[in-house]
Structure 1
Amino acid sequence: MSTAPAAPSADPPATPPLRGWRRPVTRRMLLLVSLATVLLWLAMVVTGFLYVRREWVSVLEMRDQPLQLRLPVGLAAQAEVAVPVHTRLDSVQRLKLPLDQEVRVQVQNNLKAHAVVNTVVPVNTVVNFEGDIPVDTTVVSEVPVVSWWPSFPVTIPVKVVVPVKVSVPVSVQIPLALNLEVAGELSGPLRVPVKTVLDTQVLLRANVRAHVTSRTDFSLLSPVEPFGVDIVHARLQMPMADFGWTVKP
């Protein structure tokens, strides 16, 4: 009887741990996710409530609403009365307007004027002359012959050319009187200084309409009986921040 040797037994391979989304969900993880969701929802609710309380405004319209108004004692108030006033303004006012400024004047046409000039022109110069001067004349002279013989007149014709080169200083005051007709055209505007005081009268005539307003501050010293007030149309706006609540035991 033969016995076969037994085959050695092989161990199964180890399974790697799951990671990421493939991990099994535990109660602790569910509790943490639920708690985070509740906290996020509460934060959104509180944030929305605070935003609405701060920004939201309630609008209430009232039409033909009768009310009974009671004023408390010691109430400080202010009464304002406006009365229209119609009158007629008819007056003459005397005004004095000082003017001290430059006025720009543009002249489009040609200008024609009559100018009279009376002045003295000083002349300081040196006149240089260089040339030949011809001389053609007759010289009459008495020529003695002998000391005991009386002299007799002699006429001698003279004809010569004399060269001349001189510098003559000239310093004179020449009176000048001119009577001119001047015509021209202005290319640019003129700046005319104006310095004067205008004495004028202004006639004021107008219909005047004004509102006279009177304000009085007062405070109530004694109670006032309630009186009726009819609100024809009113639009009330109440911010949410003005609302509040009280807890009564």
Structure 2
Amino acid sequence: MVRPDPPTRTGFTRPFHQQQILSWVGYLIQLIVYILLILPCMTRDEKIGISIPYLMIFALYNTCFLLASKESHTSAWISEKQRNKGFNCRWCDKYVKLGAKHCRSCNICRLNFDHHCFFLNNCVTSDNYQLFLSGIILLGISSIFTTFLCIFVIMGNEYDDGALMQRASEFYGGSKVPKALVYVFLCLLMIEMLGIQVFMIYLFALHYLLFDRGITTFELIQYRRQLENEKAANQ
């Protein structure tokens, strides 16, 4: 009997997760606000000098997350002849290598499993961990950069007697740009970026500590569950 190929699943296997779609919307909002509201307020030299590094960082973190999401991961399956080198998973009823962990979200056993990321709609394992971590760092940098640009537009316009809004009006063919509306959108974007910064700092600090201690996110979760069970048993 020919054994079927191990199942594959990536972050783009449907259905998409709500948090994954939310992240796409957030990235799109960041890009739209930059192009429509921030870029028109700059001088020609500022557009060139700022847009190149800004868009490079934006493209890099999206590329990291895209590749991490597309990762199909190394198969954990082994043949029945090699079952002494592994174990039978009670969830998928397949023989898998030692150290494999069944991800209930993907319904597939993974090797070197760290955690399942709903924003990627995919597992994070040793195969895509570096891409995941690089994406976190670059997204954090991008959010700080975006916050700086929002402040630059608001403060620069106030200190320069509306010169930045005048540039924006010229960019749009002389049409008056409503300053209050621009400020509202920039402030909303800064709130989004602040939320991203807090979350990215938390993730980076968490994974730095886990790496320093040589454990995975899943092992940390198991340890916390064990403590909760022991606490409940002693009550």
- What TM-score do you get using the length of structure 2 for normalisation? 0.18
Bigger relative contact order, structure 1 or 2, given CA contacts below 8 A and separation 6+?
1
Counting strand residues as a fraction of each chain, which structure ranks higher? 1
